Structure 1
């Protein structure tokens, strides 16, 4: 054994050695009690430091990643299967929903919200959760769960408004247009969680006077059709 092997304890404990160095050093560990003890102490210290610096990601992150996934074209499947239009659309929708659900553990940004994001996890984890992309101003993604009777709306890059106006979200169906809430005017990313009545078949975002309106007073700048 060479003296240099004794100096690899720190690198080995932090997994910073090559494959060849790892194999040689592990053979050395079988013969060197001092190195085994030092490696164990260094690994324990590294684990404590990692836990001390750990930060739990907020639940809003799922919506950020889900929105990006819905805007990003995915690679086609590597199978020579010809899909018709309906099958292709369904495959894309399922891939988007599943990828978004799997993105639960990545780090997030801070949103400006007018309603608490507590039900976000419940909506995203629902078996029937699906993501729908909006059309119009900015980018908008709606995650819908009919079984939970809820939806989560994430909007970004909407045009800035003056202090006298806000964005208002509307649930539209056979019962007319009902307000789902206001979105803060200053935030670059806006999120809203809303109950979803069974008759609602589309969502609209309008510009309204500060404080909101009893009903839409302007055409929707962003529209989402529930499918």
Structure 2
């Protein structure tokens, strides 16, 4: 079996083995250094032979070769009757019986073929036969080389196609990642805007609180809330500001919120929503009471607020007079 595998090196070098024999020879090649060297040499020879047939033959070579192959060889001339020299007695020699011309030609051609057979191998051939044999060998080598090149080209094209698909998939993943990064940057920019707006509102509230606390008529009022907790108010009629904050209020679901109301002759009007308590204390709300506002109220409303109270007040406190 090993000897048979050694004989497959030539067909393997030009990719001419069926798949089953190719697999067996691949396994054999891993342990046979001699076959590996022979395969490399055969592939180099096939590559050089394939390159050697790149030159086109002269246009008139084929017609000349065919004409030379069809041209008959010169035949020996037979002497004619009566060509013998005259005898001294003046009498012509009696006619000599000649064999039939066809027999003579066969005899002479038979002798010629016998002489050619006696010559060594390779002698006696005409140059057209040698030229045709050389061309056949070159064409066979070129076919082997071109077959190997075609197989390598198919393998290379398959590898390039697979690499192109992997590159396209990598580019698509990179594009998706860039899109996600762009979306994250947009969300971050929105959060930053909200933080900036909240900072501006807080700065405004802080300025109003500072003005309110600095007023000479500022008064602080604390009242209990019916649902639990304490409300703290700071009022200044001269500054025209009311600050409201609370602590200890019960937590509400996301759909509900605490809403502050100012009550005057025209009835209650919305004064703002309390923010979610952090550490049990709501952020301060600064509102501007009107001259006729006498009370402040607190109710539980929808999370986005309501234009009119929808529940009973959990806090109802009088505002200090001027």
Which TM class, normalised by the smaller chain length?
Answer: 0.3 to 0.5
Give the TM-score normalised by structure 1.
0.48
Q: Decide which structure has the larger Cα Rg and report it.
A: 2
Which structure has greater strand proportion? 1
Give the TM-score normalised by structure 2.
0.34
Which structure has greater helix proportion? 2
Larger relative contact order (CA 8 Å, sep ≥ 6): 1
